[in-house]
């Protein structure tokens, strides 16, 4: 049905009406006092979301721009870095690092499995000459719905003493607890169309004290993504270049909603929806692509054995106007991904589980009685 689409992909995520309506106001001047107030307020709100006293800078661009900024503002050509790679986004950061001539050691895990913190530990401990400058990794691997143990890996980096941690938290920030200061993460990148509940177009780089120290040594060429002018201007509640003003209106509205809900409530909601989704999927006889304990609070990937995942997505879209994400690269047709990130309520969860049951039934692929999946989901939503 026209205009009735429900996005259950890991970004863009659904956007609250209030946020859309704030976004559709007439733009104001980006050098005006009114806009400065918005920059000031959202900057404080961003620090709250990151649980940090570090600088959180807003870039007009996608999450990739933020990650690239984190990398090129702290490193120099030839610097040795360790990149975690267990999915499409891990792969991407390896590409960025190589594009800038960094000396990359890749720590791999299969798609659908988490990175092993011990591998990072071993490499970091062996580096007695302290040649490693950074560890770059993805927290929630969007392509597979795996959550990596960012806390444990950051801890190994801290024990190393010299390297910094650069984390892609694009689909984890605002979905689960990431206390930047407490864990000692040096750089966090994120994007607006995820837990932030606003459309794509803004991205964010949080830069801690050690990240700025690394910045002093960094000599990679850059201009639009050079974070020093962002720091200088954010301290005057401004931006170095004309920012996406209307997305700032949206950001202020959504962060204010998030403040009202409270961080812990937001994290609990995501954990509860994750569990209700995982259990409903299993109860209807489908297989989770990722072991439950490594599942991301933002995305659940499902591997429907002997059924074309694209066909399931198609029926869900046609019959129920629910958009799920497909598998990427070699997983295309093999998995589908349910996004339960951001502006998601219990209705979204029960409707996607019911719709999946209906879809399997229609395809003649439901091997359990109709209602078994949703029964499990409902029982969990009532329990947790």
Q: Quick one: tokens of 52?
A: 């940090």
Q: Which one among 223, 305, 306, 364 touches a second copy, defined by CB under 8 A?
A: 223
Say whether residue 106 binds a second copy (CB under 8 A). no
Instruction: Kindly state the smallest distance separating residue 330's Cβ from a second copy, in Å.
Output: 17
How far is 10 from 290, CA to CA, in rounded Å? 16
CA distances from 108 to 67, 138, 140, 155, 171 (A): 19, 12, 15, 19, 20
CB neighbours of residue 333 within 10 Å? 15
Q: Which one among 44, 122, 241, 329 touches a second copy, defined by CB under 8 A?
A: 241
Say whether residue 242 binds a second copy (CB under 8 A). yes
Say whether residue 221 binds a second copy (CB under 8 A). yes
Q: Which one among 52, 55, 56, 61 touches a second copy, defined by CB under 8 A?
A: 61
Say whether residue 5 binds a second copy (CB under 8 A). yes
Say whether residue 11 binds a second copy (CB under 8 A). yes
- DSSP assignment string, 330-362: GGTTT-EEEE--SS--HHHHHHHHHHHHHHHHH
How far is 203 from 65, CA to CA, in rounded Å? 7
Instruction: Kindly state the smallest distance separating residue 60's Cβ from a second copy, in Å.
Output: 5
Rounded to 5 degrees, φ, ψ at 290 are: -115, 135
How far is 155 from 281, CA to CA, in rounded Å? 34
Query: How many helices, marked H, and strands, marked E, lie in the chain?
Result: 14, 14
- The mark string for 293-312 relative to a second copy (x by CB under 8 A, - otherwise) is --------------------
Q: Which of residues 322-361 bind a second copy (CB under 8 A)?
A: 323, 325
Which residues are bridge partners to 82 per DSSP? 105, 135
Say whether residue 379 binds a second copy (CB under 8 A). no
Instruction: Kindly state the smallest distance separating residue 251's Cβ from a second copy, in Å.
Output: 12
Say whether residue 100 binds a second copy (CB under 8 A). yes
How far is 17 from 32, CA to CA, in rounded Å? 26
Q: Quick one: tokens of 84?
A: 């975690």
Shorter beta-carbon distance to a second copy: residue 135 or 324: 324
Count, residues near a second copy per rule CB under 8 A: 52
Say whether residue 177 binds a second copy (CB under 8 A). no
- Contact positions toward a second copy, by CB under 8 A? 3, 5, 7, 9, 11-12, 14-15, 20-21, 23-30, 32, 60-65, 68, 95-96, 99-101, 191, 193, 199-201, 220-226, 241-247, 323, 325
């Amino acid at each position: 049905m026209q205009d009735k689409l429900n996005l259950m992909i890991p970004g863009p995520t659904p956007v609250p009406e209030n946020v859309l309506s704030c976004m559709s106001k007439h733009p104001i001047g980006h050098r005006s006092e009114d806009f400065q107030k918005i920059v000031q307020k959202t900057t404080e709100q961003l620090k709250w979301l990151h649980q940090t006293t570090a600088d959180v800078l807003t870039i007009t661009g996608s999450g990739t721009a933020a990650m690239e900024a984190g990398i090129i503002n702290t490193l120099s050509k030839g610097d040795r870095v360790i990149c975690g790679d267990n999915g499409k986004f891990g792969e991407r950061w390896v590409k960025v690092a190589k594009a800038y001539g960094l000396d990359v050691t890749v720590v791999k895990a299969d798609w659908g499995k988490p990175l092993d913190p011990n591998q990072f530990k071993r490499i970091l401990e062996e580096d007695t000459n302290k040649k490693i400058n950074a560890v770059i990794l993805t927290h929630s691997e969007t392509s597979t719905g795996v959550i990596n143990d960012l806390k444990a890996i950051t801890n190994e980096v801290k024990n190393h003493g010299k390297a910094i941690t650069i984390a892609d938290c694009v689909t984890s920030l605002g979905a689960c607890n990431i206390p930047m200061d407490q864990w000692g993460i040096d750089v966090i990148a994120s994007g607006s169309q995820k837990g932030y509940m606003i459309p794509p177009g803004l991205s964010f780089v949080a830069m801690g004290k050690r990240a700025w120290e690394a910045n002093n040594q960094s000599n990679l060429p850059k201009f639009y993504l050079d974070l020093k002018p962002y720091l200088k201007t954010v301290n005057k509640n401004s931006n170095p270049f004309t920012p996406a003003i209307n997305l700032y209106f949206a950001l202020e509205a959504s962060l204010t909603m998030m403040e009202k809900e409270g961080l812990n409530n937001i994290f609990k909601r995501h954990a509860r929806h994750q569990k209700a989704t995982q259990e409903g999927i299993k109860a209807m006889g489908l297989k989770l692509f990722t072991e439950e304990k490594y599942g991301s609070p933002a995305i659940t990937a499902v591997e429907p054995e002997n059924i074309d995942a694209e066909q399931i997505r198609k029926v869900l879209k046609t019959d129920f106007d629910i958009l799920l994400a497909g598998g990427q690269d070699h997983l295309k047709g093999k998995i589908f991904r349910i996004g339960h990130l951001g502006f998601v309520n219990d209705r979204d969860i029960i409707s996607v589980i019911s719709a999946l049951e209906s879809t399997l039934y229609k395809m003649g692929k439901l091997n359990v009685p109709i209602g078994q999946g949703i029964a499990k989901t409902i029982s969990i939503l009532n329990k947790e």
